[in-house]
Structure 1
Amino acid sequence: MNATESLAAVSKAAEDGQISATALENIQSWLTEDRYADYRDQVAAEIEAGHWRALDDAFWTIIPFGTGGRRGRMNPIGSNAINDRTIGESAQGLADYVTEYHKGAKELSCVIAYDTRHKSRHFAELCAGIMVAAGFKVYFLDDYRATPQLSFAVRQKSCDCGIMVTASHNPPSDNAVKVYWSSGAQVLPPHDKAIIDRVMNCQEINQVAFADALADGRVEIITEEIDHAFLEVTKAQAFEGSRDVKILYTPLHGVGAEAVIPLLKADGFNNVEVYGPHEEKSGDFPNVPGHVSNPENTAVFEKPIEYASANGFDVVLATDPDCDRLGVAAPVTSDPSGEWATFNGNQIGALLAEFILSKRKQAGTLSADHYLVKTLVTTELIRRIADSYEVKTVGDLLVGFKHIAAAMDAGGPDKFVFGTEESHGYLVGQYCRDKDGAVACMLLSELAADLKQQGISMHEYLAALYRKHGYHKEYLINLVMEGSEGMAAMQRLMQAFRQSPPESLAGIRVGQIRDYLNSTKTDTATGNSEALGDPVGNLIIMDLDEEGNYVAARPSGTEPKIKLYVFTRLPVGDSQDLDAAEAKLGERLKALEADMRAFAKANS
């Protein structure tokens, strides 16, 4: 097909309803505009083959460059896919904005790293060539490395920005770039929106061949330097105590072993084994259920737990493909051959908060000026633990560890104790500004060893926290809404939460609506509203009349879904019999989920 025939065929497909109107518009752009000339033949070939479903998926929208970067399914062509063009636009837009921001006042530099996903190395070299062409010195981590190592490297090398090629825990089909500012944190306002504007309006992408830039020194390999420095700063976060514990670690086919194993060894843990079936570095994630390497998914622990139980391990640790998240499983009692159970992200955060604060108090390094940081959708058990140690909690933050990083710098990193978010992200220290699965592995191992010495299981340790602070139980509901119809459904549902929220959930009246997009807090009985204040973002929280029980709703920033975070709690007096408390809140969560799904079905 020539260009005229291709344009005619795609117009006919739109008329016949085989592709959407937005797909037609984007395909026409890729067929006619000079900036897409390199992809024109591939687009035409797909049109000639009549692959309308694939074309509609690839072109129905322009993949957004969100406030952290671009993430999605890989496809050689398409405005709604991860490919050389969309990744190239991301790097070019970043380079253009950083150059403009500094206005030639300094020599610019950027760190680039990548994980084990398909095409990650290719995209990393592509980004490096684009940054070099824009005048940047590029520091390159020349092997699979963890996201927190990239964040650390940006700070260590005093760079202006950083790029991490990873789609975190997404399926094997996906990839992405995460973009970092000079602080080592993912970009925040006003820089995020300014970068997005450059990315979405990118016309020409300029690049230098990676091999040429490496040969003449414009790309410098710093892998060994960063490995050594990162190990030094992370092992400095260790606490004294027992190291007598047997650890099974799984990197879930990702990069984690390069960061976790040296750190555990440096901290004195000599009985550590990498789980063999998950050791291979592979973007296919071949030996995890559904090929999705997400430590939030309890299914990834099933086989490691079987192995751990049969071989006398005390704890199983898992990190996601780019090693910024931690998952944990441990025996329910102190007997490794007995029943095992996993912990969710909120529970791990509570365990670490109590452990870190107790160690700091014991060492005399806590004061009323010290503080913890969490997001609005992370359990309030963290705040209650902090209160018991008379330290502050910064907790009114939107989802995303970059907000925790900003709170660290605003509050003073010298007084920062611990940062956590419900999606299995944890950080101590000042060395980076993103969650770190490696340091979390070290601290959890220290806790496991201390508890083993006391003859207490990790689950029993958590139970004691529940009895002290009230039983907390949380649950995440993912409402997947893919494609152009899904986007419209997401918008309708969020609008319904704002304009006509449910009157009650699980038989408990909804007493208050916190709308963080419109910065209002509304009493549902009177209809009276007052200003909510910062932060501002697309998040709604429905507070129930029973204290500590609420539901939060927000569209995901990286996937086509609305996330519903359900929080329940019982008072301390009702939390002493944990079996009864678990049964009561388990039923409440079921009722809350049923009511929320019914509301979503009726309003999306």
Structure 2
Amino acid sequence: MSGSDLDTSALLEQVKQATVDGKITASAADNIEIWLTEARYARYADQVAEHITSGKWKELDDAFWTIIPFGTGGRRGKMYPIGSNAINERTIGESAQGLAEYVKATVSGDLSCAIAYDTRHRSREFAELCARIMVSNGFTVYFLDDYRSTPELSFLVRYKKCSCGIMVTASHNPPSDNAVKVYWSTGGQVMPPHDAKIIDNVMNVQEIPLGVEFDAAVSENKVVLCTQETDDAFVSAVSQQKFDGPRNVKILYSPLHGVGASAVLPVLAADNFKDVALFGPHAEQSGDFPNVPGHVSNPENPAVFDIIIDQAKKDDSELILATDPDSDRLGCAAPRSMDTTGEWGTFTGNQIAVLLADHVLSERKKGGGLTADHYVVKTLVTTEMVRRIAESYGVRTCGNLQVGFKYIGGTMDEEGPDKFLFGCEESHGYLVGQYARDKDASVAAMLLAELAANCKKEGKSLHEKLESLWWQHGYHAERLLNQKMPGSEGMANMQKLMGKFRAEPPASVGGLKLVQVRDYLNDTITTADGQTSKLNGPKGNMVILDLEDDNYVAVRPSGTEPKVKFYMFSYVPAEQLSLMNAAQEEMEARLDAFENDLKAFAESV
């Protein structure tokens, strides 16, 4: 049956009845009607009709209950051939076309777009689709013709002075997902006011022009394949961030089935690290992520490192580095002592941030290049230990930022990149240097390898180095709790929960009294006794509960996944530390108490 032969009225009656019967939500029914009746969705009408006649109501509700949004990094979600709430040809095409229309209306002169993609299913297909759309809109496309990292795409936008960029990746999401990340001419992900205006364009796209085939566009030089040239320039730019020192450390590296070997390995080689092995079970570039727990290649998950640590112990490796599928996040594991056959431990994103911050600032101080004008950048949910380290070196911290590395990149341009030292976020994202405006696992891997070699020369492990920083700056322990709230009902519950934190926050969390609530959506500070003042913070849907003794909890709905995130922070000042083990046990118990209270509060909605 073709679109013209469909009995649309009968199909809509079935949809209406399914809504009455509670098989689909009213919002799904509305979006299904749009895809059945509007000309711009005509090519998908047969598939929608087949789902209706086959009674695939669960699939329809999942695919249509909302319109997939732009989050902190772009448009991300589960792939499905049809649906406004899925990643498919239409939603990817709308994203590219909406970007093209906005750039054409905003930017004068020759237009160009950088495009790259990772190892996920359909990434190459979606990248070619985006390239065809951009060329059809009059753009020259600079295309990385193989699996490459997100930071290399950010670099390419700047390197070729592009008007914008598109990265096809869903980062560390499950294999079912894909996404597009949209970049501005700065090489950073789109910021206000561009983001809201691009979204408006995306949501109002009618026709998606595909006037040229990909291979023809390459032949006509409208799509410029520039992979090797960009690789060489990128590795050169990253390796310029290196510091002098020993390189005698044995490294085992895992790309977790992603693109990282194209970036991390050449960068380590350029910094003269010679004893680097690729972890075989994770070397295959596969969108199925076959050899990682739950098929989710996330270096934030300590369980990812279990089999790598087993191998490291066998071959006397001294450092494990792992990157997520698009190689913008870095994870790390190391022996707890100098005994590589003994106990190993992973590091949180905050702990890696602390180690890298101290390494960069220490090395820069040796060179005599630090001034009070220099600065580090972090987000509001990244450990305050970074700020305390920066203060000890006499440099400032820009830390009043919402979640998303785009705000770190934006701050670099606002403050001036020449004085930028280091940017970090708790979700394992780091940047040093001016060559990009997004987090980069390759530069973080290089610098962490340098630090590990320095520590080895001093006869200490990375864990012992971290402990020495705690003694100096106080013990900081952080934890992230993800409260999943899937589906249309979950979205409503997320909104209810955020409203409850604002209107009726808990009087205490984990036995610590509430001091004040910082509401970044309404720009208010409300004390425990109800007094209200202006916050003057960055706008965003986040609440921070300030508790006694510099402990606090940040609460925000994820910008890319159906869940609420609780960021928990505990702290013992350096002057109050006597026994490190005791402090660690006490703070773990405190975080456990935080977690229990927050779960109970969320479940009460």
Q: Which amino acid in structure 2 is aligned with residue 91 of structure 1?
A: A
Residues 352-379 of structure 1: per-residue CA shift (max 9 Å, x gap) = 0011111111111111111100000000
- Counterpart residue number, 1:351: 355
Q: Which amino acid in structure 1 is aligned with residue 564 of structure 2?
A: I
Which stretches in structure 2 are left out of the alignment for 5+ residues?
Answer: 1-5
Once the 2 structures are TM-superposed, how far is the Cα of residue 405 of structure 1 from its aligned partner?
0.6
- Counterpart residue number, 1:91: 96
- Counterpart residue number, 1:304: 308
For the 8 Å contact 2:72–2:560, the answer to whether it is kept is no
Supply the distance in 2 between the matched residues of 1:595 and 1:523 (Cα, whole angstroms): 20
Supply the distance in 2 between the matched residues of 1:352 and 1:67 (Cα, whole angstroms): 24
Supply the distance in 2 between the matched residues of 1:591 and 1:69 (Cα, whole angstroms): 35
- Give the direction of change, closer, same or farther, for the CA distance of 1:229–1:300 in structure 2 (3 Å limit): same
- Counterpart residue number, 1:180: 183
Residue 159 of structure 2 corresponds to residue 156 of structure 1 = yes
**Aligned match of 1:475 in 457, 461, 479?**
479
- Counterpart residue number, 1:342: 346
**Aligned match of 2:123 in 112, 120, 123?**
120
Q: How many residues align?
A: 599
Q: Which amino acid in structure 2 is aligned with residue 165 of structure 1?
A: V
- Counterpart residue number, 1:581: 583
Q: After superposition, where does 1:225-240 map in structure 2 within 5 Å?
A: 225-240=229-244
Structure 1 stretch displaced more, 424-433 or 19-28:
19-28
Supply the distance in 2 between the matched residues of 1:363 and 1:310 (Cα, whole angstroms): 39
Supply the distance in 2 between the matched residues of 1:258 and 1:202 (Cα, whole angstroms): 35
Once the 2 structures are TM-superposed, how far is the Cα of residue 447 of structure 1 from its aligned partner?
0.6
Structure 1 stretch displaced more, 164-173 or 22-31:
22-31
- Counterpart residue number, 2:68: 63
Structure 1 stretch displaced more, 408-417 or 569-578:
569-578
For the 8 Å contact 2:525–2:534, the answer to whether it is kept is yes
Supply the distance in 2 between the matched residues of 1:384 and 1:571 (Cα, whole angstroms): 11
- Counterpart residue number, 2:569: 567
- Counterpart residue number, 2:398: 394
Supply the distance in 1 between the matched residues of 2:213 and 2:74 (Cα, whole angstroms): 23
For the 8 Å contact 2:72–2:403, the answer to whether it is kept is no
**Aligned match of 1:506 in 501, 507, 510?**
510
Q: After superposition, where does 1:441-520 map in structure 2 within 5 Å?
A: 441-520=445-524
Once the 2 structures are TM-superposed, how far is the Cα of residue 599 of structure 1 from its aligned partner?
0.9
Q: Which amino acid in structure 1 is aligned with residue 548 of structure 2?
A: D
Q: Which amino acid in structure 2 is aligned with residue 121 of structure 1?
A: R
Residues 43-74 of structure 1: per-residue CA shift (max 9 Å, x gap) = 11111111111111111111112353210000
Once the 2 structures are TM-superposed, how far is the Cα of residue 11 of structure 1 from its aligned partner?
1.9
Supply the distance in 1 between the matched residues of 2:343 and 2:146 (Cα, whole angstroms): 38
For the 8 Å contact 1:253–1:279, the answer to whether it is kept is yes
- Counterpart residue number, 1:101: 106
The SS at the match of 2:263 is helix
The SS at the match of 2:142 is strand
The SS at the match of 2:172 is coil
Structure 1 stretch displaced more, 290-299 or 531-540:
531-540
Normalising by structure 2, we get a TM-score of 0.98
Q: Percent identity?
A: 61
Q: Which amino acid in structure 1 is aligned with residue 41 of structure 2?
A: Y
**Aligned match of 1:524 in 507, 523, 528?**
528
Supply the distance in 2 between the matched residues of 1:306 and 1:578 (Cα, whole angstroms): 28
Supply the distance in 2 between the matched residues of 1:69 and 1:383 (Cα, whole angstroms): 29
Structure 1 stretch displaced more, 488-497 or 5-14:
5-14
For the 8 Å contact 1:65–1:199, the answer to whether it is kept is no
For the 8 Å contact 1:65–1:90, the answer to whether it is kept is no
- Counterpart residue number, 1:49: 54
- Counterpart residue number, 2:538: 535
Residues 247-291 of structure 1: per-residue CA shift (max 9 Å, x gap) = 000000000000011111111111000000000000000000100
Residue 13 of structure 2 corresponds to residue 8 of structure 1 = yes
- Counterpart residue number, 1:170: 173
Q: Which amino acid in structure 1 is aligned with residue 507 of structure 2?
A: E
The SS at the match of 1:566 is strand
Structure 1 stretch displaced more, 367-376 or 246-255:
367-376
Residue 263 of structure 2 corresponds to residue 247 of structure 1 = no
Residues 21-62 of structure 1: per-residue CA shift (max 9 Å, x gap) = 111111111111101111011111111111111111111111
For the 8 Å contact 2:172–2:325, the answer to whether it is kept is yes
Q: Which amino acid in structure 2 is aligned with residue 166 of structure 1?
A: T
- Counterpart residue number, 1:38: 43
Residues 382-423 of structure 1: per-residue CA shift (max 9 Å, x gap) = 000001111111111000001001111111111100000000
The SS at the match of 2:499 is helix
Supply the distance in 2 between the matched residues of 1:465 and 1:445 (Cα, whole angstroms): 18
- Counterpart residue number, 1:204: 207
Residue 141 of structure 2 corresponds to residue 138 of structure 1 = yes
Once the 2 structures are TM-superposed, how far is the Cα of residue 311 of structure 1 from its aligned partner?
1.1
Supply the distance in 2 between the matched residues of 1:335 and 1:412 (Cα, whole angstroms): 44
**Aligned match of 2:428 in 421, 424, 430?**
424
The SS at the match of 2:468 is helix
For the 8 Å contact 1:522–1:530, the answer to whether it is kept is yes
Which stretches in structure 1 are left out of the alignment for 5+ residues?
Answer: none
Once the 2 structures are TM-superposed, how far is the Cα of residue 10 of structure 1 from its aligned partner?
1.8
Supply the distance in 2 between the matched residues of 1:422 and 1:306 (Cα, whole angstroms): 26
Once the 2 structures are TM-superposed, how far is the Cα of residue 438 of structure 1 from its aligned partner?
0.5
For the 8 Å contact 1:69–1:90, the answer to whether it is kept is no
The SS at the match of 2:192 is coil
- Counterpart residue number, 2:3: none
Residues 228-249 of structure 1: per-residue CA shift (max 9 Å, x gap) = 1001111100000000000000
Structure 1 stretch displaced more, 206-215 or 233-242:
206-215
- Counterpart residue number, 2:29: 24
Q: Which amino acid in structure 2 is aligned with residue 230 of structure 1?
A: F
Q: Which amino acid in structure 2 is aligned with residue 46 of structure 1?
A: H
The SS at the match of 1:546 is helix
Structure 1 stretch displaced more, 403-412 or 148-157:
403-412
Q: Which amino acid in structure 1 is aligned with residue 562 of structure 2?
A: P
Supply the distance in 2 between the matched residues of 1:389 and 1:15 (Cα, whole angstroms): 65
For the 8 Å contact 1:67–1:188, the answer to whether it is kept is no
- Give the direction of change, closer, same or farther, for the CA distance of 1:475–1:67 in structure 2 (3 Å limit): closer
- Counterpart residue number, 2:336: 332
- Counterpart residue number, 2:289: 285
Normalising by structure 1, we get a TM-score of 0.98
- Counterpart residue number, 2:114: 111
Once the 2 structures are TM-superposed, how far is the Cα of residue 4 of structure 1 from its aligned partner?
3.1
The SS at the match of 1:79 is coil
Residues 206-227 of structure 1: per-residue CA shift (max 9 Å, x gap) = 1222122111111100101110
Structure 1 stretch displaced more, 284-293 or 571-580:
571-580
Residues 173-217 of structure 1: per-residue CA shift (max 9 Å, x gap) = 000000000000000010000000000111111122212211111
RMSD, aligned α-carbons = 0.9
Residues 421-446 of structure 1: per-residue CA shift (max 9 Å, x gap) = 00000000000000000010100110
